[in-house]
Amino acid sequence: MAEAIRIGDPAIEIRLRRSGRARRMVLRLAHAGAGPTLTLPPGVPIAKARAFLADHEAWLRGHMAARPAAATVGDGTVLPVGDRTLTIRAGAGRATIHRDGILTVPGPEASRALRVAAWLREEARRECVTAVDRHAAALGVRAGRISLRDPRSRWGSCTASGDLMFSWRLVMAPSAVLDYVVAHEVAHIAELNHSPRFWAVVRRLCPDFQASRDWLRRNGAALHVLDFGDRAA
**Is there a contact between 25 and 17 (Cβ–Cβ < 8 Å)?**
no
pLDDT at position 32 is 54
**Rounded mean pLDDT of 105-128?**
94
pLDDT-derived band at 106 (thresholds 50, 70, 90) equals very high
Instruction: Give the residues across from 49 on adjacent strands.
Output: none
**Rounded mean pLDDT of 188-205?**
97
Q: Same domain for 62 and 103? A: no
**Is there a contact between 28 and 36 (Cβ–Cβ < 8 Å)?**
yes
Q: Same domain for 129 and 146? A: yes
Structural domain of 114: 72-227
Q: What is the mean pLDDT of the chain?
A: 90
DSSP label at residue 130: H
The helix, strand and coil proportions of the chain, stated in percent and rounded to the nearest 5, come to 40, 20, 35
Q: Which one has a higher pLDDT value, 181 or 233?
A: 181
pLDDT at position 130 is 98
pLDDT at position 2 is 61
Examine residue 232 and state whether it is found in any structural domain, yes or no.
no
Q: Same domain for 52 and 111? A: no
43 closest CA partner among 61, 25, 63, 68? 25
pLDDT-derived band at 68 (thresholds 50, 70, 90) equals low
Examine residue 20 and state whether it is found in any structural domain, yes or no.
yes
Three-state SS for 190? helix
Examine residue 84 and state whether it is found in any structural domain, yes or no.
yes
pLDDT at 34 over 70: no
pLDDT-derived band at 61 (thresholds 50, 70, 90) equals confident
pLDDT-derived band at 67 (thresholds 50, 70, 90) equals low
Q: Same domain for 103 and 54? A: no
pLDDT at 226 over 90: no
Query: In whole angstroms, what is the distance from residue 233 CA to residue 231 CA?
Result: 6
